[in-house]
Amino acid sequence: MAQPKNKRSRKRRGTQGGRIDTKRAARPRSREEAKARARSGGGSRSGSKKPDLPPTWKGAAIRGGAAAVIFVVILLVLFKRPLPVSLIFGAFMLVFYIPTGYWIDMTMWRKRERQRIRDREGT
């Protein structure tokens, strides 16, 4: 028997953005269940929320570096400061931003963690 010229194509399940859902959601069994899923924001999706991890020094360093670079660019462009002066201020801001950013992130994370523990004990 002769082979067909073209292979049979499969149905594409991806979105236009390139995301492919691997888990297929089951259809709601009733109208009430569909309404409940719509109100809860998706129903059976369990891992959709980003986990709240404690802050890291690496993250603080990346954010501090980005802020220092923006600060240097602003000094050069808007305030028309010379390059060496701008770099010195940028280095100072980098040394200041990294520990300050880490401390603020840690404070906020501890606050969220205490609230999460209170919610778990309360229910």
Tell me the C-alpha distance between 70 and 68, whole Å. Answer: 5
Q: Give the whole-angstrom CA distance, residue 118 versus residue 123.
A: 9
The overall average pLDDT reported for the chain is: 86
Question: What does DSSP assign to residue 20?
Answer: -
DSSP 8-state class, residue 19: -
Of the pLDDT bands very low, low, confident and very high (cuts 50, 70, 90), residue 38 is: confident
**Mean local confidence (pLDDT), 115-121:** 91
* Residue 54 confidence (pLDDT) above 90: yes
Q: How far apart are CA 108 and CA 3, in angstroms?
A: 65
Q: Which residue in 55, 48, 63, 67 sits closest to 106, CA to CA?
A: 55
